[in-house]
Amino acid sequence: MLGEDEVRHETCTVKPMYNRSLNGSVVNLTLDSALLKGNPLGDPHARTFPAYLPPGYDESDTRYPVIYSLAGFTGTGLNMAGFSVWEESLPEQMDDLIVSGSCPPVIVVMPDCFTRLGGSQYLNSPATGPYEDYLTDEVIPLVDGELRTIPERERRGLLGKSSGGYGALTLAMKHPGLFAAAASHSGDLYFEYSYLRDFPKAVDALNQYDGVEGFLKEFAGAIKKGPLIPTLNIIAMAAAYSPDGSEPCLPFTTPDGELIAEVWERWLAHDPVRMVEQEPYARALRSLNLLYLDAGDRDEYALHLGARIFIERLKALNIPYHYEEFSDGHFGINYRYKVSLAMMAKALGKY
């Protein structure tokens, strides 16, 4: 029968047999952002995003540590909480860890920093919007106001996969006062391998569709978006790393595709492998209670090499870290969250 309660509470949380039901719950928060108002891409300023609440949340007034989970390129928080027949969603993984006693209870917030370019890299750019400020100045205060978090740096972490891993690393570098733990699953590192490989594809597509605007129009109308994603990715990265006012400045000429050294250097300046060599960023990472990295040993974007190069830097700078290399590629690796979620919940839960 259709119970009142079920109508009220069950946003995607009641699972059939193939996945257990949650013991905790998922709620959606809505934030009408002042910062995103008038953003250059015309993306909405009011956004809804899910948060996982641990078992017993409703029956007590306990406050909990909070983990911010950042989606990868083309993803948002809503995807992380979505239902999948044979795969545990992030809330299900967290729930299972807590219920099995593998770690203390925490809240997990899955914010929305999506743009119509596929993502924002969680930084401020005049070509996308102030997503870094949005996260630190609007999302975190909202969460701390609406949910029973422990609103302290020592009880706040962030993690992500791919572009979300990039966001976790760079936000931890830039905001040492906000976060005590960071985890990057297959995060964007060493741009020479991870991005440059897709430049030729992007050159061809931009030539085909007469530039960025034409491409984005094509993309919007395309039924099969998959083959266009690598080009969208390059445009989104240009919007994040090398904006020229409200426009992305591409790191290559068209139609030839020759690299433009000055623009490419602007990209490289955003590579955590280079950022970490600035002492304030190194100090920020050194101050973390947990710095977790992993990558698949056959990552299609060579992010395992990126991770290895990055941790060589960490070693040289005396920055503690935990690194795991697992046998897989870049895709279909959501199951890896379970490792970082457990470690981070423990790191944030102890005093």
Binders of its own copies among residues 130 to 149 (CB under 8 A) are: 142, 146-147
Asked if residue 305 binds its own copies (CB under 8 A), the reply is: yes
Q: Which of 38, 58, 61, 223 binds its own copies (CB under 8 A)?
A: 223
Question: With respect to its own copies, which residue has the nearer C-beta, 25 or 242?
Answer: 25
Please name the helix (run of DSSP H) or strand (run of DSSP E) that holds residue 66, with its range, or none. Answer: strand 66-70
Considering only the stretches 56-64, 148-156, 220-228, 284-292, report the one whose residues sit in contact with its own copies under the rule CB under 8 A.
220-228
Question: Please, what's the largest Cα pairwise distance for the chain?
Answer: 64
**Per-residue buried b or exposed e for 77-109, using 16+ beta carbons within 10 Å of the residue's own CB:** bbbbbeeeeeebbbbbbbbbbbeeeebbbbbbb
| Of residues 200 and 320, the one with the C-beta less far from its own copies | 200
Q: Binding residue for its own copies (CB under 8 A) from 131, 191, 199, 337?
A: 199
Binding positions for its own copies, 16-55, rule CB under 8 A: 16-18, 27-32, 42-44, 47-48
Determine the Cα–Cα distance for residues 37 and 97; give it in Å rounded to an integer: 38
66-70 vs 156-161, strand pairing mode: parallel
Query: Least distance to its own copies from the beta carbon of 131, Å?
Result: 13
Binding of residue 6 to its own copies (CB under 8 A): yes
Q: Least distance from C-beta 350 to its own copies, angstroms? A: 29
The rounded distance, in Å, linking the Cα atoms of 319 and 283 is 8
Site residue total, its own copies (CB under 8 A): 71
**The two structure tokens encoding residue 32:** 């009408």
Using CB under 8 A as the binding rule, the residues of this chain from 153 to 182 that contact its own copies are none
Task: Determine which residue in the list 86, 100, 101, 351 makes contact with its own copies, applying CB under 8 A.
Answer: 86
Cα(96)–Cα(207) distance, integer angstroms: 49
Candidate residues 137, 144, 154, 204; the one interacting with its own copies per rule CB under 8 A: 204
**Contact in structure between 119 and 236 (CB atoms under 8 Å):** yes
How far is the CA of 335 from the CAs of 85, 89, 92, 251, 331, in angstroms? Answer: 14, 8, 11, 34, 11
Near its own copies by CB under 8 A, which window of 57-65, 160-168, 233-241, 307-315?
307-315
Beta bridge partners of 243: 248
Under rule CB under 8 A, residue 78 binds its own copies: yes
- 82 part of the interface to its own copies, by CB under 8 A: yes
Query: Which residue in the set 185, 328, 330, 342 belongs to the binding site for its own copies (CB under 8 A)?
Result: 328
Q: Does 124 bind its own copies (CB under 8 A)?
A: no
Instruction: Compute the least distance from the CB of residue 347 to its own copies, in Å.
Output: 25
The least distance separating its own copies from the CB of residue 143, rounded to whole angstroms, comes to 9
Q: Which of 33, 76, 136, 186 binds its own copies (CB under 8 A)?
A: 76
Hey, which residues between 272 and 291 contact its own copies (CB under 8 A)? Answer: none
- Across 204-223, b (16+ Cβ under 10 Å) vs e yields ebbeebeebeebbebbeeee
CA distance 234 to 304: 20
Whether residue 176 has a cis bond before it, omega within 30° of 0: no
CA–CA separation, 46 and 31 (whole Å):
5
CA distance 10 to 35: 31
